A and B are shown apart, each in its own frame.
Chain A
Amino acid sequence: MVKFGIEFVPREPYWKIIYYAVQAEMGGFSNLWITDHFNNRNVYVTLTAAAIYTNKITFGPGVTNPYMVNPVFTAQAMATLNELAPGRVVLGIGAGDKTTLESVGVEMEKPLKAVQEAIDIFRKITSGESVVYSGEVFKTAGAKFLFKPRGTIPVYVGAQGPKMLEFAGKMGDGVLINACHPKDVEYAVSCVKEGVKAAGKKLNEIDVAAYTSFSVHEDIKKANKAAVPVVSFIVAGSPPQVLERHGIDVKKAEEIKEALKANDWGRAFGGVTPEMINAFSVCGTPDMCIERIAELLKSGISQFVVGSPIGANVKEAINLISEKIIPHFRT
């Protein structure tokens, strides 16, 4: 049975995020993902509050990266969280966002290697080992916790490109696929399958999640309106081949990018077309969203993550998902 996850960006104060997290838990969501960007509120502080106020939902950073935070610190934070909420903690880790990293002068060097080595170190140190590690990106000389970490923390790899997706299938306990359209998710899952096969595993042994930009409302116009800002940023950040795959005019995407750079929101958001919304979000009325999720499930995903904006009104959107969408996939 498909699991439903929900993502929050801690740009909002912790009490709003946690209110929604509790609401999501009550509404049948099984996973909570909190994004990790230095320019928002801190992910681990937010997750700590989530650990305190929720009772059963599984949660973790969605996703952190090994460039901004050394993997031993990530491991320390996660191991501590796992004491607060034993068995409910998962790590989401990926290469990070190039633009954000560049803004703090951090180069995204050898992303695949960096993520792989970070996971190696994370797993070793959270299992209580003294870690002597000499990688291409990270080195440790006997790093060991002075406390006994409890349990194993599953690792989800945030992935978009084919190599990272394959790696995620091979090494991850789960994968967070950053895609919304069935064509993209199908392709991504095929890459994950390669990795799974190489590791001698089966696809159903890992949790394959579609991490989507999502917007639901009974009024489609309101759902679309809420999705537009997020979609404009996705379009602006998408490579030409991805845009072309969805029949999106690269020139139009370039115009949106320019408008965003100039903080000309009206022009940027006004340039977003229905084709762009369809390609880069799951958006519409509950019935329309159900149809799209059902299509995505055919690709072999086991978790559907509802990401920003969720809806024009987050509380109402969570209610709609809990009352109309999740029950559809439970029967």
Chain B
Amino acid sequence: MDYRKLVELIPIGKWGALSDKLVDFILTSKNDEKMSSQLANTILHHWQQSVLKSETGLAALLEAALLLEPEKTINAFGELQMENVAEQIKAELES
């Protein structure tokens, strides 16, 4: 899945709220073993640089959230009135 392309579908005004939601999913997930250390380190690096709400930060969070909590993540797009992105993700996951 091209997470950068998915982020491009998200209005910039919603990046902050989405980033917060995805971080919550990741931190409270019980599926820790699904997180790769490389992805974890990327997220920590972006967090340290305060760029988790940027395009690259959001792409890393999206990848992690979809690995750890796919259902919650897809539902979050619905809650944030981004059904088109939710549908796009579902299609990508099914293919």
**B-binding residues in A (CB < 8 A):** 12-16, 18-19, 22-23, 26, 49, 53-55, 313-315
Choose from A26, A55, A315 the contact partner of B23 (Cβ within 8 Å): A315
Chain B positions within 8 Å of A, measured between CB atoms, are 23-24, 27-28, 32, 35, 37, 40-41, 43-45, 47-48, 50
Nearest A residue to B29 by beta-carbon distance?
A16
CB-contact partner of B44 in A12, A15, A313, A314, under 8 A: A15
Q: How far is the CA of A168 from the CA of B44 in the complex (A)?
A: 36
B28: A residues at CB distance < 8 A: 313
CB distance from A85 to the nearest CB of B (A): 13
- A22:B44 contact, CB within 8 angstroms: yes
Q: Is the interface of B mostly helix, strand, loop or mixed?
A: helix
B44 near A19: Cβ-Cβ < 8 Å: yes
Interface centre among B23, B35, B40 (most CB of A within 10 A): B40
Q: How far apart are B20's CB and chain A's nearest CB, in angstroms?
A: 9
Let me know if A13 and B32 touch, CB within 8 A.
Answer: yes
Chain B residues contacting A19 (CB-CB under 8 Å) are: 23, 27, 43-44, 47
The answer to whether A13 touches B35 (Cβ under 8 A) is: yes
Q: Secondary structure of the A side of the interface?
A: helix
Q: A314 touching B27 by the CB < 8 A rule? A: yes
Nearest residue in B to A12 (C-beta to C-beta)?
Answer: B32
Q: In the complex, A12 Cα to B23 Cα: how many Å?
A: 15
A222 smallest CB distance to B (angstroms): 14
13 other A-B residue contacts (CB within 8 Å) besides A19-B44, A55-B48: A12-B32, A15-B37, A15-B43, A16-B27, A19-B27, A19-B43, A19-B47, A22-B47, A22-B48, A49-B44, A53-B44, A53-B47, A315-B23
Beta-carbon contact of B32 and A18 below 8 Å: no
> Please, how many angstroms separate the alpha-carbon atoms of A315 and B27 in the complex?
8
The distance from the CB of A46 to the nearest CB of chain B, in whole angstroms, is 13
Known: A313-B28, A315-B23, A315-B24. A15 touches B48 (CB 8 A): no
Contacts of B35 in A (CB 8 A): 13, 15
Q: Which residue in B24, B40, B50 is a CB contact (below 8 Å) of A15?
A: B40
A53 and B48 within 8 A (CB): yes
Distance between Cα atoms of A13 and B41 in the complex (Å): 12
Chain B hits for A49, CB < 8 A: 44
Chain A residues lying within 8 Å of B44, measured Cβ to Cβ, are: 15, 18-19, 22, 49, 53
Residues in A neighbouring B23, C-beta threshold 8 A: 19, 315
Across the interface, name the chain B residue whose C-beta is closest to A313.
B28
Distance between Cα atoms of A26 and B50 in the complex (Å): 10
Q: Which residue of A lies closest to B40 (CB)?
A: A15
Chain A: CB-nearest residue to B47: A22
Q: List 9 A-B contacts (CB under 8 A).
A: A15-B40, A15-B41, A15-B43, A19-B27, A19-B43, A53-B44, A53-B47, A315-B24, A315-B27
- Inter-chain CA distance A49–B48, complex, in Å, is 12
Question: Which A residues touch B43, using CB under 8 A?
Answer: 15, 19
Residues of B within 8 A of A26 (CB): 50
Return the chain A residue nearest B45 by Cβ: A53
Q: Would you give the shortest CB distance from B41 to chain A, in whole angstroms?
A: 8
A26→B47 CA distance, assembly (Å): 10
Look across to chain A and name the residue whose beta carbon is closest to the beta carbon of B50.
A26
